[in-house]
Structure 1
Amino acid sequence: MAAQKATMLDANFDVEDVLSKIRLPDKIRMLTGLGWWHTEPVLNVGIPSMRMSDGPNGVRGTRFFNGVPSSCFPSSTGLGSSFDDELAFQVGKALADECRAKGCHILLGPTTNTQRSPLGGRGFESYSEDPHLNGTIAAAYINGLQSEGVAATIKHFVANDQEFERFSVNSVVSERALREIYLKPFQIAIKDANPWALMTAYNRLNGIHCSENVKLLQDILRKEWRYEGLIMSDWTGVYSTAESIKAGLDLEMPGPAYMRGKAVERALVGQKLFPSDIDDRVRKILELLKRAYASGIPFDGPEEGVDTPQLRALLRKAAADAIVLLKNDNDVLPISGPKKIAVIGPNAKPAFTSGGGSARLLSSYTVSPLEGITAAAKEEGATVEYTIGATSHVLLPLLDGLIKQTNGEHGALIEFWNESPSASFLSTQADLQETLPKCAWSTPTLGSLCFLADGVDDTKVNEVCWIRYSTTFVPDESGDWEFGLNIAGNGNFFFNGKMIVDLSTNPEQGESFFGLGTIDVHATVKGLEAGKTYPLEIRLSNAEFIGRGAPFTCRGGVRAGGIKYVEEEEGIRNAVKLAKESDVAILVIGLNHDWESEGFDRKDMKLPGLMNRLMSEVLEANPDTIVVHQSGTPTEMPWVDNAKTLLQAFYGGNELGNGLADVLFGRVNPSGKLSLTFPKRLQDSPSYPSFGEKGEEYGQVLYNEGIFVGYRGFEIKDLKPMFPFGYGLSYTTFDYSDLQVGQPTAGGSFSASCTVKNTGKRSGAEVVQIYISDVVSSLPRPAKELKGYAKVLLTPGESKMVKVDLDRHALSYYDNRQSRWVAEAGEFVVYAAASSDDLRLSTKISLLKTFTWTGL
């Protein structure tokens, strides 16, 4: 964006005074963003533009293409599984440091939607199926972020729980379920952390889009909860003009305006809106701007990265603490003393740092499981051998790390022309040796995914252009290689001087590049030699693409991938052989950002490809195989009874490989507890079948399970999951004793405490979970509900008293007949537990008098 006026407002400006000085046309402009990542400035009044960036597990910055690399923290389901508020706080602080380095005032996170189904495409982005854990971890993250002056944007408000038809689907939710399950984490976070911004959801709620829902934004958020922060839309998530403004939606994102701008002027003329309505919305933007001034983060500042030893240590700790030990039957873990370690599986060699969509970013660096294990094994005097076994990708892995420019630098060169540089430029018979005229502009890039919606010099490159992506490919393994290409535009893929993929002749449309790109087309090149250099070139034009009605300026896109080809049977044979020959076998399997992403939901809970067969045959060959399952949400595991050792790794961010190795080799004692119930099969999930494409009825999805989401649903049906909520093992053992619970005050406050002792031989951390059960209630209630937790670190033989403070919400339910929260007189059982299925201690308390309330 253009440089802003040097003279701006005083940092202590008076909001009402500034509001009175802004002309009405400028106020209308301020109601919509400036491009993808900024608010509109009003320079004649001294108002600068605030900058935003996607989160929630990193700070991408303002560019999709050639952006400044960023730290990637573990996915939210992993952070939630740490049950560690202090860790979430420190992650928030670290993200604030990244925001400051990138000149970002507003981070678009955390995602705080309740996990309703294992199939949700963005399930990995939210913390938990349990509203208390979800809201409490979100609050800690927000407090960490905002303690450094960066605005958190809690999202997506509310019931944005599936991706299928996400712009139009009507989430039909009972009032009680809405209050107790879906609004509750937002309520907790607003009460405990006061996020300075909030993002509305795409979907309808009970018939009305969330971005224009008066009940949500005015009655509940503004009036009942007294929320005073800015309310923005999700990107292109505004569907009305007067209605959204009247409902309280302050900012339409992104720009240029679709539902505001001239439409607001027309609504004012027709008196559907009044200047006071516009003032109400602009006032919230100015209030957030005042916080941005206080942060000291420059406006229109440069974008830089952060890389310090302290940050790397936090990334590594977060990756390790997000891991959950699910099985360790023969005490195979931690690993000690092997001579030869086999590492097998499609999730071992690539670093799957996060799920897909807006949560994904260009990591400043990555450590894959194979790299982390290899480094740790070397220190133990062991050797590592790898084989893939079976593949799991939808799109071939990016070529990043295997491509070099002709000058020896990593990456590729992209050149742009404003007219076709030669008659045969896109031809399948193109002469790659021809001398092309000087390009209009060029830039290096590190990777083989280039979404050219930004990052291009607009002063030199026209909107319609011709592009050459050129590099050299250096395979790390000899053999046949499979390559894949999809593009936004028309073009071809040339390898070693020969055209291998034709996407210039009526290319078939696909879902890449937000639906603007082609399908992915594959080709196999035989007999490549490891370490040898092969020229690679992709030529394309967006001339025809521009006419397809893209909703934003885009000069096209390139996504090239490749992987050594291994025939399926051969791959499994190699894995079985290696597992038999090795002292220790580690099998790293799961999902990746191809399967879990914004924009679509999973079709089922199955592992992709031949993964289950690979699992079964390797476990038969080596029963002590250590299984590492990486995903953001649950999958079916038909082989689980035969696996003696199992770790759930989630998406671990930059340091996922080192964090995993720390746990495998005992440098870190795992302490994670599942933030999600893992069902044995999809049909057991409480939301089944009312979810996604197959669960919709005439554009609406019925939340038939009501309040019985996650473990609440399993327990009310007495249905055994594969692994229960809150479950996780350690390399040591813990004993619980002396549960003490105070008598609730008249206002419902009380505390619970117990003594935890480390009865094993290793230091370790235990999460004490406090569940509450209402013995007799006027309305049906879950068997028990998580209402508090605390994490305690203990050395061998050490004992500590753990105390958890609770309030009236621990005893209450929402009575939609009265439209109030009710804490009903009577007996309650308080449990101190190691998981929802492992209740160690219990006692009863009594609430002497019923009381009700509204609000936070």
Structure 2
Amino acid sequence: MRISHSAAALITTNSLLACVSGYSFEQSTYTNESEVPFYGLSPPVYPTPEGNGKSSLAWAAAYVKAREFVAQLDLEEKVNLTVGYQTSVCHGHTGSVPRLGFGGLCFEDGPSGIRGQDFVSAFPAGSHLAATWDKNLMYAYGKAIAEEEKGKGVNVILGPVGGPAGRVTRGGRVWEGPGPDPYLIGIQLGQLVTGIQDNGVIACSKHWLFNEQEYRRLPTINYGEAMSSNVDDLTMHELYAWPFMNALRAGSGAVMCSYQRANNSYSCQNSKLMNGVLKTELGFEGFVVSDWGGQQSGVASANAGLDVVMPWFGWWQNLTTMVTNGSVSIERLDDMATRQMASYYFLKQDEKYPDLSISPYNVQHPIIDVRDNHSQLIREIGAAGTVLVKNTNKTLPLKASTARFVSIFGYDAEVKAEAWEDPTRYGGGYDVNWGWNTFNGTLITGGGSGSNSPPYVVSPFQAIQQRVVANKGMLRWDFFSGNPTVEASTQVCLVFINSYSSESFDRLSLTDEFSDNLVNNVATNCSNTVVVLHAAGTRLVESWIDNENVTAVIYAGLPGQEAGSSLVDILFGDVTPSGKLSHTVARKEEDYGEVLNSTIDYSAFPQSNFTEGVYIDYRAFDRNGTVPRFEFGFGLSYTTFTYSNISIVQRDNVSVAEYPSKNISIVQGGHPELWDVLFEISAVITNTGEVAGAEVAQLYLGIPTAPVRQLRGFDKVMVQPEEAATALFEVTRRDLSTWDVVAQEWKLQKANYTVSIGASSRDLRLNSTIVL
């Protein structure tokens, strides 16, 4: 829907003045769905629920300490805790209380490694991690990043990323998170938060909520307000908020509110999203921090649930006056300070936490090397997230005898010389970070605050050269020609291309002519052409995928500093590929429909209506009967697997009730009964090939009144040749529920639920039914 400028002004005014109490998870004044005003309008929810520590004994103990600390502060000190400063050391730092020995909290980017520092690691991107479909690697990734952040004395890591959720196919930041499926995002968020916080660092899950495009994400003087993401209540719960429930369930100590408007109220002053959903319905115990520069008001932000503003920019200087004149209550200020300190104590950062050792890049400083042996993990994740999508006549893996003469082509194969000469390439700003454009060399990460600072980069050319030399072979290469010469004796041609994306802008295309022409030109003269594609998001391949001389294709993602090593492990069969796509690759851009591009709106109050609801990516392809090139969950292996013996067992220690109990307190992550495991489902996976390999078995449920199939489980099992392993799936009450917009709660339905297990969203090998 669209609203007039006067109506938008009225909404803002009402948001500032409304002081509605009585919101509860159990109660609703709505009598039918048409009355629910959560589309284009954001109902006010006040006051902010005070954190109480009821989620666990650990949170309770943290709140006791936090309240004792805050009780000792005067007004100025309390206000100072809510203020974020952007310094030459940390990307953000809260105020301190020196007389009580509290130095404030240091916030650092980011979700794939510390940005802008030396002797730190460049991890694979969140999208690459998701392509592993490996819960253990997700946990190990979070733990390793936290070890480096903690080693530098950082208190809060600005990650993991659960939004954008990948709604906009060309969105500039889709590579930072897992992709467009809420279940997969949620599992990854939960594992990352657990890994991060098991090592004592506060995880700041972001971005809350609906930050799905870069175009007009912030207000500008020339154009007007930021884009408004207009999302209905059901879609909000079942798609965009769903993954954050996992992050909160895992104990996330902080959440970052996003830039854009949500239903015409800025996310960082949206009382419905922060007070109503996050802090009441989902029981969030930690603190909400704004994205950098995302706060657009004072009184409205504080009363809507914002706890820490980053950075200050003068916005927060009148908070003392606001409290003094009653615009913001002293209780709200106390809660803001208490929530921050509760997260600090919850992670036990008061107990011998390392001193801060972050230093400006251009200032001489002691070497603090925090990398440990993380390069090995990065290499493992790099290989595990590499997706093989074509392999004609077992072209791969390469063997010494069939790959003695190797020719390498394409700008993505090597690190371009001038990149080494410019230190700003190491995690600088938004357009001068590593791999900052298509032709600057091999792409290991995307651009912006989610990027990282590699201590080195193992390029594909470097790693392949080492292997070919060890095999007593020879190489020819041409990195920059669009139509290179292929020597007649070449046994295999490796063509490297990429697709870049960054924070601050959305992509204009899912292909590029130069790269597509390069592939076809090489394939014209080489009957064994292998294409390797590093991509920050979906990249189409139609112009050459059916070329008979293109014998193998690899989606190599954004693998981090060990890019070449990880790739060689796959190319030469040291590791059997097991990566699966975490998004759908279409045959043409139009197949993505209205969510292909960011919404372009030149009005003063731009609107982006999420009219597709929950139907994005494979859900939309299934509904529309659209045939993808490569479906969600697809990926080839060097071996083969069969599926058998599906089993569904109902847990006998839980009640399968239609409604959750209403006399149970909400804890962080939502109603605790939503996490009850109702069914255990299993299947036997047999390796019928000749080499060991891991298979990602995927569980899809057909839930009545919902998309025909939705991912609700996955298990990655390693299986030796001619042996079998059991894939296990635990199905919770939430997994089987839909959101009731009238009752404002999750509900089960008395119906038949279809159960499918397979190798992808369209390769479903086993089928059964759950009857409720």
TM-score (norm 1): 0.72
- Number of the residue aligned with 2:10: none
Q: Would you say the 8 A contact 1:690–1:701 is kept in 2? A: no
2:376 is aligned, of 295, 313, 322, to 313
1:693-747 CA-to-partner distances (Å, cap 9, x unmatched) read: 3799951111121111110000000101111000000000001001111247515
CA shift, 1:305, in A, is 4.6
Task: Kindly provide the amino acid, as one letter, of the partner of residue 304 in structure 2.
Answer: A
CA shift, 1:50, in A, is 1.8
Within-5 A mapping of 1:126-275:
126-167=177-218, 168-191=226-249, 193-255=250-312, 257-261=313-317, 263-275=318-330
Within-5 A mapping of 1:562-577:
571-573=481-483, 575-577=484-486
CA distance in 2, matches of 1:597, 1:17: 43
- Number of the residue aligned with 1:770: 699
- Number of the residue aligned with 1:19: 70
Greater mean deviation of Cα atoms: 236-245 or 12-21: 12-21
Q: Kindly tell me: are residues 750 and 252 of structure 1, through their superposed partners in 2, closer, same or farther at Cα, counting changes over 3 Å? A: same
Q: Kindly tell me: are residues 298 and 743 of structure 1, through their superposed partners in 2, closer, same or farther at Cα, counting changes over 3 Å? A: closer
- Number of the residue aligned with 1:344: 409
CA distance in 1, matches of 2:580, 2:121: 24
CA distance in 2, matches of 1:717, 1:586: 36
Aligned length: 639
- Residue 380 in structure 1 maps to residue 468 in structure 2: no
Q: Would you say the 8 A contact 2:540–2:588 is kept in 1? A: yes
CA shift, 1:138, in A, is 1.3
Between Structure 1 and Structure 2, the one with more strand by share is: 1
1:560-587 CA-to-partner distances (Å, cap 9, x unmatched) read: xxxxxxxxxxx234x2424x44111110
1:439-485 CA-to-partner distances (Å, cap 9, x unmatched) read: xxxxxxxxxxxxxxxxxxxxxxxxxxxxxxxxxxxxxxxxxxxxxxx
CA shift, 1:383, in A, is 1.9
CA distance in 2, matches of 1:330, 1:288: 55
CA shift, 1:265, in A, is 2.8
Q: Kindly tell me: are residues 267 and 292 of structure 1, through their superposed partners in 2, closer, same or farther at Cα, counting changes over 3 Å? A: same
CA distance in 1, matches of 2:602, 2:233: 20
Task: Kindly provide the amino acid, as one letter, of the partner of residue 330 in structure 2.
Answer: P
CA distance in 1, matches of 2:469, 2:63: 57
Task: Kindly provide the amino acid, as one letter, of the partner of residue 647 in structure 1.
Answer: I
Q: Kindly tell me: are residues 825 and 121 of structure 1, through their superposed partners in 2, closer, same or farther at Cα, counting changes over 3 Å? A: same
- Number of the residue aligned with 1:353: 444
- Residue 823 in structure 1 maps to residue 752 in structure 2: no
CA shift, 1:690, in A, is 6.4
Within-5 A mapping of 1:724-743:
724-743=631-650
RMSD: 2.0
Q: Kindly tell me: are residues 244 and 715 of structure 1, through their superposed partners in 2, closer, same or farther at Cα, counting changes over 3 Å? A: same
Q: Would you say the 8 A contact 1:753–1:802 is kept in 2? A: yes
Q: Kindly tell me: are residues 241 and 302 of structure 1, through their superposed partners in 2, closer, same or farther at Cα, counting changes over 3 Å? A: closer
Q: Kindly tell me: are residues 696 and 379 of structure 1, through their superposed partners in 2, closer, same or farther at Cα, counting changes over 3 Å? A: farther
SS at match of 2:682: strand
- Residue 300 in structure 1 maps to residue 356 in structure 2: yes
Q: Kindly tell me: are residues 26 and 811 of structure 1, through their superposed partners in 2, closer, same or farther at Cα, counting changes over 3 Å? A: same
Task: Kindly provide the amino acid, as one letter, of the partner of residue 494 in structure 2.
Answer: I
CA distance in 2, matches of 1:689, 1:360: 24
CA distance in 2, matches of 1:665, 1:696: 54
- Number of the residue aligned with 2:546: 641
CA distance in 1, matches of 2:175, 2:215: 16
Structure 2 residues not aligned, in runs of 5+: 1-60, 219-225, 360-366, 416-441, 658-676
1:51-81 CA-to-partner distances (Å, cap 9, x unmatched) read: 1210101012xxx4xx324211111111001
- Residue 99 in structure 1 maps to residue 149 in structure 2: yes
1:108-159 CA-to-partner distances (Å, cap 9, x unmatched) read: 0011111112211001001121000011011111111111111111000011
- Residue 699 in structure 1 maps to residue 609 in structure 2: no
Task: Kindly provide the amino acid, as one letter, of the partner of residue 610 in structure 1.
Answer: F
Q: Would you say the 8 A contact 1:120–1:602 is kept in 2? A: yes
- Number of the residue aligned with 1:813: 738
Within-5 A mapping of 1:198-597:
198-255=255-312, 257-261=313-317, 263-290=318-345, 291-294=347-350, 296-301=352-357, 305-306=368-369, 310-336=373-399, 337=401, 338-350=403-415, 351-389=442-480, 571-573=481-483, 575-578=484-487, 580-592=488-500, 596-597=501-502
1:46 is aligned, of 73, 84, 101, to 101
Q: Would you say the 8 A contact 2:80–2:94 is kept in 1? A: no
Task: Kindly provide the amino acid, as one letter, of the partner of residue 340 in structure 2.
Answer: I
Task: Kindly provide the amino acid, as one letter, of the partner of residue 584 in structure 1.
Answer: V
SS at match of 1:742: strand
1:605-650 CA-to-partner distances (Å, cap 9, x unmatched) read: 122x511111111122223211101102112222111133100011
- Number of the residue aligned with 1:499: none
CA shift, 1:100, in A, is 1.9
Task: Kindly provide the amino acid, as one letter, of the partner of residue 651 in structure 1.
Answer: L
- Number of the residue aligned with 1:606: 511
Q: Would you say the 8 A contact 1:58–1:361 is kept in 2? A: yes
CA distance in 2, matches of 1:14, 1:818: 37
Q: Would you say the 8 A contact 2:130–2:184 is kept in 1? A: yes
CA shift, 1:309, in A, is 6.7
CA distance in 1, matches of 2:316, 2:595: 39
Q: Would you say the 8 A contact 1:757–1:799 is kept in 2? A: yes
Q: Kindly tell me: are residues 205 and 309 of structure 1, through their superposed partners in 2, closer, same or farther at Cα, counting changes over 3 Å? A: closer
CA distance in 2, matches of 1:246, 1:382: 68
- Residue 86 in structure 1 maps to residue 136 in structure 2: yes
SS at match of 2:546: helix
Structure 1 residues not aligned, in runs of 5+: 1-9, 390-570, 848-856
CA distance in 2, matches of 1:138, 1:73: 16
Q: Would you say the 8 A contact 1:772–1:785 is kept in 2? A: yes
Within-5 A mapping of 1:53-92:
53-60=108-115, 64=116, 67-92=117-142
- Number of the residue aligned with 2:559: 652
Q: Kindly tell me: are residues 380 and 296 of structure 1, through their superposed partners in 2, closer, same or farther at Cα, counting changes over 3 Å? A: farther
- Residue 746 in structure 1 maps to residue 660 in structure 2: no
CA shift, 1:828, in A, is 1.1
CA distance in 1, matches of 2:701, 2:602: 32
- Residue 713 in structure 1 maps to residue 620 in structure 2: yes
Q: Would you say the 8 A contact 2:152–2:355 is kept in 1? A: no
CA distance in 2, matches of 1:833, 1:718: 19
CA distance in 1, matches of 2:617, 2:509: 17
CA shift, 1:826, in A, is 1.1
CA distance in 2, matches of 1:273, 1:307: 42
- Number of the residue aligned with 1:677: 584
Q: Would you say the 8 A contact 1:11–1:293 is kept in 2? A: no
CA distance in 2, matches of 1:234, 1:249: 11
- Give percent identity, aligned residues only: 30
1:802 is aligned, of 727, 736, 748, to 727
- Number of the residue aligned with 2:534: 630
CA distance in 1, matches of 2:567, 2:248: 34
SS at match of 2:540: coil
Q: Kindly tell me: are residues 845 and 281 of structure 1, through their superposed partners in 2, closer, same or farther at Cα, counting changes over 3 Å? A: same
1:261-285 CA-to-partner distances (Å, cap 9, x unmatched) read: 2x21332344211222211101112
